[in-house]
Amino acid sequence: MAYLFDTDAISEVLRRRPALAYLQWLKTVPRADQFTSTVVIGELYKGAFRSPHKAMHLENIETRVLPALTVLPFDLDVSRIYGEIRAKLETQGQMLADADLQIAATAIFHDLEFVTGNLRHFERVPGLKIAAVFADARKRSRG
């Protein structure tokens, strides 16, 4: 199985004390099966530029995150799925941030399981396969 990692799932690895169970699981996933979205990378950069430790965070993105993951673009094919999901959720009166739906659409288009700690947030996205491993590991380590 291949996975698309959300912003929080990537940030966890960069923490001083990441969830050990999550790190152990990550070691079992081949590098070729680890993906993220350009939208996630944008969110990571935004966080870095807002941080008082900007240089350290930028270095982490460029030396640890980018070499470790294949970054998938938000392109025309993904944008069509995004538009369909956005319209469906708006019709149902359910809103998610554009960036979150763009990330979810990327996972759906590429048929990847989505690794996030925000299960409740994303479970309403039709067609999104969520791997709860990060959320479960985080609960156990903080629990």
Q: Are strands 3-5 and 34-37 parallel, antiparallel or unpaired?
A: parallel
Distance, in Å, from the CA atom of 82 to the CA atom of 57, rounded to the nearest integer, reads 29
Tens place of pLDDT per residue across the chain (143 aa):
999 999 999 999 999 999 898 999 999 999 999 999 999 999 999 999 999 999 999 999 999 999 999 999 999 999 999 999 999 999 999 989 999 999 999 999 999 999 999 888 899 999 999 998 876 666 666 55
Domains, the chain, in order of start with CATH, read: 3-142 (3.40.50.1010)
